[in-house]
Amino acid sequence: MFGHLHLTPLLNQWLKQHPHMRAELTLLDRITDLLEEGFDLGLRIGHLADSTLIARPLGHTGYVLCASPELIEQRGSPQHPQDLAHWPTVCFAPAGSTWHFQVDGKPWPQRIDPLIRANQVDTQLAAARDGLGLCRVLSYQAQQDFERGTLVPVLTDYNPPPMPVQFVFPHSRLLSPRVRHFMEAVEGALRERLAGAANRRG
């Protein structure tokens, strides 16, 4: 979704400005081996475990807990992550049934009993909009819903620390001038988008 919302418009604009260039964009919800799979450049959300990659930081994004205004009107707002044991929830299936928060500066894992497990974030957000339960997504994934008022953030004081967003490329592969030009052309705009989203989170 990050690639769809933020990277694709910048790539399209760059290609319009450089009509002699060609690009291949692959959007995946998994970690790729850049060398083995033949990618020149990647964009990753999260801390890097692979020391063979060079990272160009762009900003940060973090998890937010969301609810529909209808659900909050019916039940009020949860006051602590432990309250979620008694709330209807909608979860991203690959992430499992534990949501991670921070309480008094320490990690707080909270088990949930999801009403729906979805393997697509869009499905998860749609269920939350319909008032079926709370959902937990990355902030940029809920940004449009927050702006429209179709979802509202809850338990914001307990959000875990944000994660880095970065361009990555292998140590062992020199970036071609074309790839480097694209990266340098769009990284400023990506930083602005991430900073703007962070400011809207408050």
CATH assignment at residue 56: 3.40.190.10
Statement to judge: residues 33 and 76 lie in one domain: no
| Number of domains the chain contains | 2
Residue spans of alpha helices (H) in the chain: 2, 8-17, 34-37, 69-75, 121-129, 139-148, 177-201
Tens of pLDDT along 183-202? 999 999 999 888 866 655 44
Query: pLDDT per residue over 67-77, tens digit each?
Result: 999 999 999 99
pTM, to two decimals: 0.78
pLDDT level of residue 94 (50, 70, 90 thresholds): confident
What share of the chain has pLDDT > 70, as a percent? 95
What digits encode the pLDDT tens for the residues 126-167?
Answer: 999 999 999 999 988 898 899 999 999 999 999 999 999 999
Strands 89-92 and 116-118 turn out to be parallel
Residues 171 and 123 in one domain: no
Last residue of a domain, one of 143, 158, 173: 158
Which 8-state DSSP code applies to residue 94?
G
Are 178 and 21 in contact, with CB atoms under 8 Å apart?
Answer: yes
- Tell me: do 124 and 82 sit in the same domain: yes
170 and 192 inside one domain:
yes
Residue 98 structural domain? 63-158
Q: In this predicted structure, what is the pLDDT of residue 197? A: 64
120 shares its domain with 67: yes
Claim to verify: residue 88 and residue 72 sit in the same structural domain: yes
Mean pLDDT of 110-139: 92
On whether both 153 and 92 belong to a single domain, the answer is yes
State whether 72 and 83 are in the same domain. Answer: yes
For residue 24, give every residue at least 6 positions away whose Cβ sits within 8 Å of its Cβ, in sequence order, or none. none
What average pLDDT is seen over the chain?
A: 89
- Residue 47 has a pLDDT of 84
Based on the fold, state whether residues 56 and 67 are members of the same structural domain: no
The band of 175, judged by pLDDT with boundaries at 50, 70 and 90, is: confident
Same domain, 120 and 148: yes
Residues 42 and 24 in one domain: yes
**185/153 same-domain check:** no
The DSSP secondary-structure symbol of 163 reads: E
